[in-house]
Structure 1
Amino acid sequence: MLVNERLIQKINHMVETFNISVEIHIEAKCPLNRNIGGKYNAGEQSITLYLEEIQSQCGWMFPGEDVFVEYASVIFAHEAGHATDPYLQKLVELYDATEDEFKRKKIELLVEVQAWKIASALVHDLPDDFFNKIKRISLEHHYKAVSQGFKDEGVA
């Protein structure tokens, strides 16, 4: 079975098992010229995966390992986490109503942590250390931004 067929099979299994109601798009490259592996679009109720970025990230994090399908399924699970987060809409509304940049960074972090929490249940068949490494690296810049905000506020 080809790699993309295995990935589609894995994604379809997650969609069916967890009753995820989104359109799924798979594209070669992110049109935003950003190194993101996936994107959830709440307005369209869709998840788009970007294969070139996923391949690049996977090769960087797990050099020499044949884990593309597993890595891509974690990225999909994270985006599905956004799609199924019961608090996402309220957090987006709070974010939009907040002008304070530090508070916005904390809300962004909360949105991402929520998606990762949900994602962990979707890929429970993968090793924890594999999942947690991807999650840690993904959240790193959000934690740094919030940490910097605490320093700016004179708290830390």
Structure 2
Amino acid sequence: MEKKKIEQVVSRLAAKSGSSIYIQIEDAFPGRRCVGGKYNIASQTVTIYLEDIKHQCMNLFSSLDHFYDFFTIVLAHEIGHAEDNDLPGLSEILSSTRNEIERKKTALQIEENAWRYTEGLLDEVNTGILQTIIYHSLKPYKENIEPETA
């Protein structure tokens, strides 16, 4: 992937969002999970993992043709976490409640908030690609709740 194009996307989204967070790009998530991006509330840092985004893009679209859109969407989503004024309170609920259904609903709310922000921030990416990524991102959260609320 072209480093200059990635840096341009980072600069453009940072400016467009007005966010003061620190954005760093790394090759791969250090754990065993496939994580495209992560927001650290304590350090106010978004980290994007390029190899994981490539893997996710291949899994979802069977090619890297949409890599830059995918990268842009993941970055906007992580900025969405950083700009979510409700995140500190939701994170507190997530870490303090023992009610598993409440934890799952809170986790879904955190993700939905970030995706709403993403949709408002991005007007230059293909809407079909964006909606596909959102659907697949939220699907496990929703499926995790459905059996317990049915």
Letter paired with 1:105: K
| 2-structure distance, mates of 1:17, 1:69 | 17
Structure 1 counterpart of 2:22: 23
> What corresponds to 1:102 in structure 2?
101
Structure 2: 5+ residue runs without aligned partners? none
Q: CA deviation at 1:82?
A: 0.2
Q: What is the aligned-residue identity percentage?
A: 31
Task: Give the distance between the partners of 2:130 and 2:78, measured in 1 at CA.
Answer: 14
How far apart in 2 are the matches of 1:60 and 1:4?
22
In 2, Cα distance between the equivalents of 1:3 and 1:122? 23
Contact 1:3–1:69, Cα closer than 8 Å, also in 2: no
Task: Name the aligned partner's letter for residue 13 of structure 1.
Answer: R
Cα distance change on mapping 1:110 and 1:45 into 2, 3 Å = same
Q: How far is 1:97 from its partner?
A: 2.6
Q: CA deviation at 1:65?
A: 5.0
Counterpart position of 1:81: 80
2:137 is aligned with what amino acid?
S
Q: Which residue of 2 aligns with 1:66?
A: 65
> CA RMSD for the aligned pairs?
1.2
SS across alignment from 2:47: strand
Q: Deviations over 1:11-64 (max 9, x none)?
A: 211111221111111111100221110000000000001111100111121223
Question: Which entry has the higher C-alpha Rg, 1 or 2?
Answer: 1
Q: Report how many residues are paired.
A: 150
The Cα shift of 1:106 comes to 0.3
Contact 2:69 2:126 in 1 (8 A): no
The residue type paired with residue 28 of structure 2 is: K
- How far does residue 146 in structure 1 lie from its aligned partner after superposition? 0.8
Q: Is the 8 A contact 2:54 2:64 kept in 1?
A: no
Cα deviation code 1:64-100 (max 9, x no counterpart):
3522111111000110010000111111122223110
Structure 2 counterpart SS, 1:47: strand
1:14 maps to a residue whose letter is L
Residue of structure 2 in register with 1:35 after alignment: 34
The answer to whether structure 1 residue 93 and structure 2 residue 98 are counterparts is: no
> Gapped runs of 5+ residues in structure 1?
151-155
Q: Does 1:51 align with 2:83?
A: no
Distance 1:64 1:35 in 2: 17
Secondary structure at 1:13 match in 2 = helix
Kept in 2, the 8 Å contact 1:38–1:47? The answer is yes
